[in-house]
A and B are shown apart, each in its own frame.
Chain A
Amino acid sequence: MDAILTMLSYPFMQRAFLAGILLGLLLASLGVLATLRKMAFFGEGVAHASLAGISLAILAGVAPIPVAIAWAVLIAIAIFWLERSTKLSSDTLIGILFTASMALGVVIMSQTAGFQPELISFLFGSILSINPGDLVIIAAFTAIILAWFGTSLKQLTYIAFNEDAASIAGMKTKTQTLVLYIALAIATVLGVKILGIILVSALLVLPPATGRLLAKSFKSYLWMSLLVSEIVIICGLTLSYFYDLPSGATIVLTGTGLFFLTTLSRQVMKR
């Protein structure tokens, strides 16, 4: 108990937990819609694509997160526009934009001399990397996106099930879809600080996947996903602190462990 209180007395851990709890809510909420729309690859693509924005910011000597957010939003808008103008699947377009943007990131990085510890922390995530400014950005975007999510959830779900009927009913299906893409892009980039570019999309997928195994209705699915997300983040960050492990990898492994544990429990209960 003393060890936990000591951990929570460190300002960097307080910021990591606060940021983690907020990101857990944000990514799991959007993840429910992403999995419903079969967009699990979207988070993966946007996270990797954000490397270009982060590299650009490091090269220019400015704060990486705002630049990465702006870049990710551009990528999200490009995916939305290309989906409609080329009729290619979003997976194909994400594959193109994600690799092109990563390639751009690598080219920009090659212009930055010496070892870049900040870049490494973005790749793998670090609980030490959340500064007060980041926390404010994460809290502000989480509040805005969750407020929109709360008021638009019914519409977003209807659009995911039956876009034509939703459009006929007068819902702004294109606008809502575009805002969802942008919200997913922003949430993914915010999660990069703790989870890293390589692993952040796991938090969009793992909690909804585990929540789905436990839920019998949409309402319980949403709540279960949020609960699982928070358990995974809190346990993952705690393990990361005590065993001096990379935060992103520890959170993802905790989530994966919980997913398999839930799957096994369900199988045992069925017998």
Chain B
Amino acid sequence: MSNQLPTTNNVSERGTAVSVKDLRVSYDDHVILENISFEIPENSITAIIGPNGSGKSTLIKAVLGLTRTEKGDVKLFGQPLSHVRRTIGYVPQRFEFDRQFPMTVLEFMELARHEHTDKKGISRAIKNVGIKSGVLREQLGSLSGGQLQRVLIAQAILNQPKLLVLDEPAAGIDVVGEAAFFQMIDQLRKVHGTTIVIVSHDISFVANAVDHVVCVNKNLMCSGPPKLALTEKNLERLFGASNIYHHHSHD
């Protein structure tokens, strides 16, 4: 795998993977998101960032049709969600299960396998996330947090999705694992052309490794390449302080 950070392509040369127009979501008269419009370029690694409780996860759930929207238009690869559902991979923020439940990793992977994906695709997906195929025989409940997260990503990429969404992946990764994580998703993008969207409250986790950001705190605060979008002024509007963005390399 390459140790280089993802290169920033010219957005205008690429198609649009996600297009959101004038989105509004509310629960019981409480507005969670409003006036949200942005685009995510195809074949990019995009971070949706914002402080805790800013509506990031709600935004991604609205994009993926998991929560009801009050108004707005969402298109994925220029089409309504219902037309492209099977081309999306999703790793949720929380994956809680009974660790004593008898299920092998292979059986867990099989749950998500589409009929057009051959069985060898499981070994390929496991290899793509950097773990040995021997893990397939192990019990799902016996995996460490880091291994489990990689298995969840392997399951999400099993059917070679065009769009991979990772909700708060930093939770299962230690500082040492960050570089390997970003190498892995960069490789997915380069080899398979997958558009990757990472939802994170931790700006220092994503800012150096993505080529597009969408900043949300109830409203859209900024959107674009990090160097242009993550200005001091925007960060202050987003987090209430500008010094929370610490540049560091994932290499």
Contact = CB atoms under 8 A, between A and B. Distances in A.
Q: Do A and B come from one complex?
A: yes
Q: Can you list the 6 inter-chain pairs with the closest CB atoms, starting with the nearest?
A: A158-B111, A170-B85, A215-B102, A218-B103, A221-B102, A218-B107
B139 A216 contact: yes
Given A162-B92, A221-B103, 11 more contacts: A36-B98, A154-B111, A158-B112, A161-B111, A164-B92, A167-B65, A168-B65, A169-B86, A212-B102, A216-B102, A217-B103
Contact of A170 (B86, B100, B102): B86
B107 A219 contact: yes
Nearest to A155: B111
A170 B101 CA distance: 25
Given A168-B65, A168-B90, A170-B86, A36 B110 contact: no
Contact of A168 (B64, B102, B139): B64
Given A165-B92, A168-B88, A217 B101 contact: no
Contacts of A240: none
A170 B83 CA distance: 10
B63 to A, nearest CB: 10
B66 interface: yes
Main secondary structure of the interface of A (DSSP, over half): helix
Contact of B102 (A161, A165, A217): A217
Interface residues of B, number: 27
A169 B111 CA distance: 11
A170 B161 CA distance: 13
B66 A154 contact: no
A38 B98 CA distance: 10
Nearest to A220: B102
8 contacts: A164-B66, A165-B90, A168-B85, A169-B114, A170-B86, A215-B102, A216-B104, A217-B107
A177 interface: no
A157 interface: yes
Interface of B: 61, 64-66, 85-86, 88, 90-92, 95, 97-98, 100-104, 107-108, 110-112, 114, 139, 155-156
A218 B92 contact: no
A154 B48 CA distance: 32
Interface of A: 36, 38, 154, 157-158, 161-162, 164-165, 167-170, 212, 215-221
Given A154-B110, A164-B66, A169-B85, A218 B104 contact: yes
Contacts of B98: 36, 38
Contacts of A219: 107
A157 B102 CA distance: 12
Contact of A161 (B61, B88, B97): B97
A168 B90 CA distance: 8
Contacts of A165: 90-92, 112, 155-156
A162 B156 CA distance: 11
Contacts of A216: 102, 104, 139
Contacts of A169: 85-86, 88, 112, 114
Which of the listed residues A154, A165, A215 has the most CB atoms from chain B within 10 Å of its own CB? A165
Which of the listed residues B85, B103, B104, B156 has the most CB atoms from chain A within 10 Å of its own CB? B103
Contacts of B64: 164, 168
A217 B104 contact: yes
Contacts of B103: 217-218, 221
B62 to A, nearest CB: 13
A170 B66 CA distance: 11
B164 to A, nearest CB: 11
Which of the listed residues A36, A161, A167, A221 has the most CB atoms from chain B within 10 Å of its own CB? A161
B189 to A, nearest CB: 19
A219 B111 CA distance: 12
A164 B65 CA distance: 9
Contacts of B100: 212
Contacts of A217: 102-104, 107
A232 B110 CA distance: 31
